[in-house]
Amino acid sequence: AQTVTQSQPEMSVQEAETVTLSCTYDTSESDYYLFWYKQPPSRQMILVIRQEAYKQQNATENRFSVNFQKAAKSFSLKISDSQLGDAAMYFCAYRYQGAQKLVFGQGTRLTINP
Partner 1 sequence: EAGVAQSPRYKIIEKRQSVAFWCNPISGHATLYWYQQILGQGPKLLIQFQNNGVVDDSQLPKDRFSAERLKGVDSTLKIQPAKLEDSAVYLCASSSYEQYFGPGTRLTVT
Positions in the binding site for partner 1 (CB under 8 A): 4, 42-47, 50, 91, 93, 100-107
Minimum Å gap between C-beta 111 and partner 1 is: 16
Q: Identify the CA nearest to 6 among candidates 74, 101, 108, 102.
A: 108
Minimum Å gap between C-beta 75 and partner 1 is: 14
Minimum Å gap between C-beta 2 and partner 1 is: 12
- Residue number with CB closer to partner 1 (53 or 93): 93
The secondary structure of 32-58 as a DSSP string is EEEEEEEE-TT---EEEEEEETT--SP
- Residue number with CB closer to partner 1 (17 or 55): 55
- Residue number with CB closer to partner 1 (33 or 65): 33
3-state class of 73 per DSSP? coil
Q: How far apart are CA 58 and CA 99, in angstroms?
A: 23
Q: How far apart are CA 100 and CA 87, in angstroms?
A: 28
3-state class of 86 per DSSP? helix
- Residue number with CB closer to partner 1 (87 or 93): 93
Minimum Å gap between C-beta 114 and partner 1 is: 26
